[in-house]
Chain A
Amino acid sequence: MAQRVGLECSLAVSEAVKLANADVIAAYPITPQTHIVEHLSELVASGELDAEFVPVESEHSAMSACVGSSAAGARTFTSSSSQGLALMHEILYIASALRLPIVMVVANRALSGPISIWNDHGDIMSERDINWVQFFAENGQEVLDLTITAFKIAEDHRVTLPVIVNMDGFILTHVIEPIEMPEQNEVDAYLPPFVPAQKLDPAKPISMGMVGVPEVYTEARKACVDALEKSYPFIVEHWNDFAAQFGRHYKPIECYKTDDAEALFVTMGSLSETAMTTVDELRAAGQKVGLVHIRLWRPFPTDDFLAAIGESKPLMVLDRALSPGCNAGPVATELRALLYAKGKTHYVANFVAGLGGRDVTRADFKSMMAKTLSAAKSGAPMPYEMVGVKE
């Protein structure tokens, strides 16, 4: 019987990795990811998790060691954040190109400079195009559950791609929440041991990571892109299976009071909970608004998103990262491109908020929605605003 325990969300990640019975963890410390690897090293030290903990000398080597261990056929986990994730950047592309089912939890944090240890999505938005499956978790329970499903999805031979589970730094990593811990036998039933599609084995030699001459490079990249796009139904399938077994259902796009809504918030990560409360408050005041929460970021669930936003409702898209030199944040830029390509005419207002750990309150959400509605009504050019800049 699953038990509900008070647990820091970082520790929930480590417990998920233990429940997944990972074989290798290679990691380097970086705030706010540290509690994850600290607890994992404790679990390995105490014998509760039978795994190799490789305390590498940098994140670049962490991802490199993960590539090696996954290629050798071992279930492999790491976690990182911010500058560390940026240091891994080069190897992230190679991990997905080699089709290695590594699972990584990213404790989202702002990038330098100035140096900031606090939360935003600048780190992961710099890694949009690495060809990994990417989720955004909203709370501790979701982080634990999604980490377990991440192994299942990554290792499915119809997918064989690495997976990132994003969790907001500090806002989630350092917060204690009531979390329902699945039983080991339940997880074992859901997640059998890793059977690699191919591995480094002297009995059956293969060459991995060969030179891609111009005649093959395009095709190799296309194979990678196709694998990511084709992973969508299997992600949904595994989330459905998880729901059937554990009773918690995760969807690529989550809707909250959208059916009769006249305008929608669009968010990712933990701020979705603030947005949800704001929706309740605005509805109590007679304003029909709703929330569309993006959980699956890569591959982007286009059809689910279009179904969620309905016809011609103004959208208030919240970005927690900048795309300097562009006229919107990264999420809004993508959504506008998507809508345009699909012949949609939704009014998209874009606000960049919560950079470097700045609080985003319900009052901020209300103000952003008010601006969105008034701009949409007037038909003025679509706003793009960095919220709360002190002049």
Chain B
Amino acid sequence: MSKAAEAIKNVEKISPKNMPLVEPLSRGHRACQGCGEVLALRQVLKAVGKQVIACSATGCMEIISSPYPQTAWEVPWIHVAFENVAAVASGVEAGRKALIRKGRIQDDNTKVMAFAGDGATADIGLQALSGAMERGHDFVYVCLDNEAYMNTGIQRSSSTPYGAMTTTSPPGAKSKGQSTWKKNMPLIAAAHGIPYVATASPAFHLDLMNKARKAAAVPGPAYLHIYSPCPTGWRCGPDTAIEASRLVVQTRVFPLFEVIDGRYVLTRDITKPKPVADYLKSQRRFAHLKDEDIEFIQKRVDEEWERLLNLVKATNPEAK
């Protein structure tokens, strides 16, 4: 059994019966109504608890949680800049490691965590993240993916899905909206050979919380990629975040899986997928797409699902 699998085995599983009561992220923050991202963040922190040092990249979650003199963080928290949260977390981890070794602080099993949006992860912060994963720091990196630069006013990122309308990928006579396919960050993270990578969606909250616990339990870098609906930027109702979070999984657009020491595990098999059109039609950011565009996206989603199944088969022969 791999080291990561061994560490995961001992993790106490969260169920509705033993839902943690701890709330490291307090109420009264300033997220938009219906924000799926802050919900995902809350779920992660509830699961991991208060023995945490949180590092935030610049982005929605940093802004809404820390306007001085107020803070929503009940755990030690640091924000430095946009693109460097993985490097900051590297430093926190290295500093504590040295101090523990020298007997200057106690080893109290504190977990260093980094939180960033998709822009801070897949674009400007990718270098720092890659460096930190390559160096093997013991930390959890959480990408809260709302699929565009929402904090600056809905500009496209490399994590914006194909066809989506943003303020810098507007549809028009010569544009279908975002012209590129969503960058596959979980696989980029997995390519670093780190012990644990997982995707999660706040509609499957127990799955998400248990993955957060596993990520915290494995020694070395762990990467969590969490689908985080943004009603403001996606042009949908504030009551639709969980609906979108469920549909995106049920349509296979955002598969739920883990990569444990290189072995891919599908954590929710979708045997009877809903049509991708159901998902796309639920948000006005895709309202301009024509039938042939939706067909193109459906085809690509099917191909990517196949690719994921092949990765599972290739790396994890015991899986059914």
One of B78, B90, B95 near A23 (C-beta < 8 A): B95
A205 CA to B97 CA, complexed, in Å: 19
How many whole Å from B307's CB to the nearest CB in chain A? Answer: 29
Contact (Cβ within 8 A) A200 B92: yes
How many whole Å from B44's CB to the nearest CB in chain A? Answer: 16
One of A58, A64, A220 near B91 (C-beta < 8 A): A64
Contact (Cβ within 8 A) B110 A61: no
User: How big is chain A's contact interface, by range?
Assistant: 35 or more
Contact (Cβ within 8 A) A74 B90: no
| A243 touches B (CB below 8 Å) | no
One of B68, B83, B91 near A72 (C-beta < 8 A): B91
| A71 touches B (CB below 8 Å) | yes
Contacts A60-B83, A202-B75, A209-B79 given: A54-B62 contact, CB under 8 Å?
A: no
Contact (Cβ within 8 A) B76 A50: no
| A175 touches B (CB below 8 Å) | no
User: How big is chain B's contact interface, by range?
Assistant: 35 or more
Contact (Cβ within 8 A) A65 B90: yes
A67 CA to B83 CA, complexed, in Å: 14
What does the 1/0 interface line of B45-56 toward A look like (CB < 8 Å)?
A: 000001111010
| A182 touches B (CB below 8 Å) | no
Contact (Cβ within 8 A) B94 A210: no
Contacts A23-B102, A61-B87, A68-B55 given: A54-B94 contact, CB under 8 Å?
A: yes
One of B68, B108, B131 near A202 (C-beta < 8 A): B108
Interface residues of B in 38-79 (CB under 8 A from A): 50-53, 55, 62-63, 66-69, 71, 73-79
Chain A residue contacts of B73, Cβ below 8 A:
205, 207
Contact (Cβ within 8 A) B92 A72: yes
A64 CA to B79 CA, complexed, in Å: 10
Contact (Cβ within 8 A) B78 A65: no
Contact (Cβ within 8 A) A69 B95: yes
What does the 1/0 interface line of B75-118 toward A look like (CB < 8 Å)?
A: 11111110110111111111111110110110010100000000
| B277 touches A (CB below 8 Å) | no
Contact (Cβ within 8 A) A24 B127: no
| A56 touches B (CB below 8 Å) | yes
One of A50, A60, A90, A205 near B87 (C-beta < 8 A): A60
Chain A residue contacts of B105, Cβ below 8 A:
73
Contact (Cβ within 8 A) A57 B76: no
A74 CA to B79 CA, complexed, in Å: 18
Indicate the member of B71, B102, B131, B132 with the most A CB atoms within 10 Å: B131
| A383 touches B (CB below 8 Å) | no
Interface residues of A in 207-243 (CB under 8 A from B): 207-213, 216, 220
One of A50, A74, A212, A213 near B95 (C-beta < 8 A): A74
Contact (Cβ within 8 A) B66 A24: no
Contacts A60-B83, A206-B76 given: A68-B67 contact, CB under 8 Å?
A: no
Chain A residue contacts of B53, Cβ below 8 A:
72, 200, 202
Contact (Cβ within 8 A) A200 B94: no
Contacts A54-B90, A205-B74, A213-B68 given: A70-B134 contact, CB under 8 Å?
A: no
How many whole Å from B8's CB to the nearest CB in chain A? Answer: 23
A42 CA to B90 CA, complexed, in Å: 21
What does the 1/0 interface line of A87-106 toward B look like (CB < 8 Å)?
A: 00011001000100000000
Contacts A210-B71, A211-B68 given: A91-B81 contact, CB under 8 Å?
A: yes
Contacts A202-B52, A208-B78 given: A64-B128 contact, CB under 8 Å?
A: yes
Chain B residue contacts of A210, Cβ below 8 A:
66-68, 71, 79
Interface residues of A in 32-54 (CB under 8 A from B): 50-52, 54
A120 CA to B156 CA, complexed, in Å: 42
How many whole Å from B212's CB to the nearest CB in chain A? Answer: 17
Contact (Cβ within 8 A) B68 A57: no
A213 CA to B76 CA, complexed, in Å: 21
| B135 touches A (CB below 8 Å) | yes
Contact (Cβ within 8 A) A26 B91: yes
| B130 touches A (CB below 8 Å) | yes
| A253 touches B (CB below 8 Å) | no
Contact (Cβ within 8 A) B55 A60: no
How many whole Å from B108's CB to the nearest CB in chain A? Answer: 7
| A76 touches B (CB below 8 Å) | yes
How many whole Å from B121's CB to the nearest CB in chain A? Answer: 15
Chain A residue contacts of B71, Cβ below 8 A:
207, 210
How many whole Å from A287's CB to the nearest CB in chain B? Answer: 53
Contact (Cβ within 8 A) A70 B95: yes
Chain A residue contacts of B66, Cβ below 8 A:
207, 209-211
One of A64, A202, A205 near B84 (C-beta < 8 A): A64
A50 CA to B99 CA, complexed, in Å: 10
Chain B residue contacts of A204, Cβ below 8 A:
76
Chain A residue contacts of B91, Cβ below 8 A:
24, 26, 54, 64-72, 76
Beyond contacts A50-B101, A65-B88, A210-B67: 13 other A-B pairs, Cβ-Cβ < 8 A, are A23-B98, A24-B98, A57-B127, A61-B132, A68-B90, A68-B91, A71-B78, A91-B84, A205-B73, A205-B75, A207-B78, A208-B76, A220-B68
Q: Which residues of A contact B (CB under 8 A)?
A: 23-24, 26, 50-52, 54-58, 60-62, 64-74, 76, 90-91, 94, 98, 193, 200-213, 216, 220
- 7 A–B contact pairs at CB < 8 A? A26-B90, A26-B94, A72-B95, A94-B80, A201-B76, A202-B50, A207-B71
Q: Which residues of B contact A (CB under 8 A)?
A: 50-53, 55, 62-63, 66-69, 71, 73-81, 83-84, 86-99, 101-102, 104-105, 108, 110, 127-128, 130-132, 134-135
